[in-house]
């Protein structure tokens, strides 16, 4: 079992003692393989490099929430984008994942067998950004004629296409430049006028580079017809069918950690920064990313009634319809029941 970096000494000592007892570790074909300590061992696939909204996985591991549910994390793997994360989990390369949920709909239309378990972002954190001193972006029509930096393989491209179509802007009205992530420098250097940006990821970094808070104009998609979920927790149809108890226990620990993240953004940010040496100087960035989600996306009228992570059919139908109407689905159009399972959030037991 590979231990994550940044463990507190008491937890690390306990984990090492457990590791010395292990005689077998790894996942079987149905996920959730057990080890000699009696814990179910699972692997998590992230959509990208570590961000604030990944904090739930690290909190649940670091503070023992997964262990309380009889689960050991073998590895939390960083990724190169939501489409790849969805395919990797769908192909059995990991047991649970985190990804952009509109991208999950797109993957499902291409027969990738994955389902959402919890909606972390109740609305999309995606927007279009400009450097205010160079280009003002005060209305959707201000996008016309701008040079946009786009990356055609990621979740931001789905957003970009759909946002334009939803607002009657033809891509021929834009100048487009192909960029590769991370593409923040293209905007800061003036090589493009605007880029899709996550308010809980790139925006704090862009602000730092552009002159500080208030140096960007940000046009949120959720204010301009992009009525979809943001990112969330997901797994495979196979694991839901073959081991629903494991899925429930994992969701319990995850949602318990989710509440901790909301209540303790600074502590979560510090924990993330301690998870590996290359993140040591990023605590402030992580806290700002988390706070952006607390302010804008983690909660909604639905979560007020049914708890964090809650999902409903109406919002999923809106997500599917928005993507289908704008031609973002290359395969068959899935039904809401194909893309999410709300039962694990509904049956969540805190365990604290």
Q: What percent of the chain has pLDDT over 70?
A: 89
Task: Give the distance from CA 204 to its chain's centroid.
Answer: 17
Answer positive or negative: Cα dihedral of 322, 223, 262, 8: positive
Tell me the domain boundaries of the chain. 9-123+229-346, 126-223
Q: Is the pLDDT of residue 31 over 70?
A: no
Tens of pLDDT, residues 293-311: 999 999 999 999 999 999 9
Give per-residue pLDDT as tens, 51-76: 999 999 999 999 999 999 999 999 99
pLDDT score for 350? 65
CA torsion sign for 49, 51, 53, 57 is positive
Give the confidence band of 276 by pLDDT, cuts at 50, 70, 90.
very high
CB-based contacts of 82: which residues, under 8 Å, 6+ apart?
47, 48, 99, 100, 103, 104, 154, 155, 231
Q: What is the mean pLDDT of the chain?
A: 89
Q: Which of 332, 352, 302 has its CA nearest to residue 118? A: 302
Q: Mapped to the 3 state alphabet, what secondary structure does 134-176 carry?
A: CCCCCCHHHHCCCEEEECCCCHHHHHHHHHHHHCCCCHHHCEE
Q: What is the pLDDT of residue 180?
A: 82
Q: What is the C-alpha separation between 342 and 349, in angstroms, rounded?
A: 14
Across the strands, what pairs with 43? 75
Q: What is the per-residue pLDDT for 25?
A: 38
How much is the pTM?
0.84
Whether 15 shows a pLDDT value over 50: the answer reads no
Mean pLDDT of 127-136: 96
Question: What integer pLDDT is reported at residue 174 of this predicted model?
Answer: 97
DSSP output for 223-237: GTT-----EEEEEEH
126-223 has which fold? D-Maltodextrin-Binding Protein; domain 2 (3.40.190)
Q: What is the pLDDT of residue 351?
A: 53
Q: Name the residue among 224, 251, 33, 41 with its Cα closest to residue 127.
A: 224
Question: Has residue 217 got a pLDDT over 60?
Answer: yes
* Structure tokens, 129: 């950004």
> Does a cis peptide bond (omega within 30 degrees of 0) precede residue 182?
yes
- Among 74, 56, 80, 192, smallest CA distance to 137 is for 192
Q: What residues contact residue 152 under an 8 Å CB cut-off, 6+ apart?
A: 178
Query: Which of 9-18, 182-191, 204-213, 289-298 is predicted with the least confidence, judged by mean pLDDT?
Result: 9-18
Spatial CA neighbour of 77 closest among 99, 109, 55, 49: 49
- At residue 17, the pLDDT reads 36
Same fold yes or no, 9-123+229-346 and 126-223: yes
Label residue 92 left, alpha or beta by phi (over 0 means left) and psi (-120 to 50 means alpha): left
User: Considering only 27-36, 39-48, 102-111, 170-179, which range has the smallest mean pLDDT?
Assistant: 27-36
> Does residue 157 have a pLDDT over 60?
yes
In the CATH scheme, what is the code of domain 9-123+229-346?
A: 3.40.190.10
Least confident piece of the model among 46-55, 116-125, 154-163, 259-268: 154-163
What number is the average pLDDT over the span 249-273?
98
Long-range CB contacts for residues 207-216, cutoff 8 Å, separation at least 24: 208/285, 209/184, 209/185, 210/131, 210/132, 210/133, 211/133, 214/132, 215/131, 215/132, 215/133, 216/129, 216/130, 216/131, 216/132
Structure confidence at residue 23 (pLDDT): 33
Arithmetic mean of pLDDT, 198-215: 89
229, HSE (Cβ side, Cα atoms, 13 Å): 31
CA 53 to chain centre: 6
Neighbours of 118 (CB within 10 A): 25
């Amino acid at each position: 079992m590979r231990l994550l970096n940044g463990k507190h000494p008491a937890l690390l000592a306990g984990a090492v003692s457990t590791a010395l007892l292990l005689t077998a570790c790894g996942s079987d074909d149905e996920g959730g393989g057990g080890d000699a300590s009696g814990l179910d061992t699972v692997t998590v696939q992230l959509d990208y490099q570590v961000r604030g909204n990944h904090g739930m996985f690290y909190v649940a591991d670091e503070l023992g929430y997964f262990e309380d549910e009889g689960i050991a994390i073998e590895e939390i793997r960083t990724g190169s984008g939501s489409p790849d994360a969805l395919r990797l989990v769908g192909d059995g390369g990991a047991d649970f994942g985190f990804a952009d949920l509109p991208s999950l709909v797109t993957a499902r239309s291409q027969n990738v067998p994955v389902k959402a378990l919890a909606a972390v972002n109740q609305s999309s954190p995606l927007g279009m950004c400009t450097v205010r001193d160079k280009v003002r972006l005060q209305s959707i029509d201000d996008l016309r004629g701008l040079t946009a930096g786009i990356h055609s393989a990621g979740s931001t491209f789905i957003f970009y296409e759909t946002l334009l179509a939803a607002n009657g802007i033809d891509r021929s009205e834009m100048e487009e430049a192909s960029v590769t992530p991370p593409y923040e420098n293209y905007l800061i250097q003036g090589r493009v006028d605007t880029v899709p940006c996550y308010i809980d990821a790139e925006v704090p970094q862009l602000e730092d580079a552009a002159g500080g808070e208030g140096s960007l104009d940000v046009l949120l998609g959720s204010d301009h017809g992009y009525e979809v979920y943001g990112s969330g927790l997901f797994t495979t149809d196979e694991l839901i069918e073959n081991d629903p108890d494991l899925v429930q226990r994992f969701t319990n620990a995850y949602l318990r950690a989710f509440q901790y993240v909301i209540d303790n953004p600074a502590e979560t940010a510090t924990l993330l920064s301690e998870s590996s040496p290359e993140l040591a100087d990023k605590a402030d960035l992580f806290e700002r990313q988390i706070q952006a989600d607390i302010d804008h996306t983690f909660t909604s009228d639905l979560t007020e009634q049914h708890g964090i992570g809650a999902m409903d059919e109406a919002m999923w139908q809106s997500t599917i319809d928005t993507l289908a109407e704008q031609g973002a689905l290359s395969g068959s159009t899935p039904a809401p029941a194909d893309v999410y399972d709300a039962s694990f959030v509904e049956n969540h037991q805190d365990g604290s």
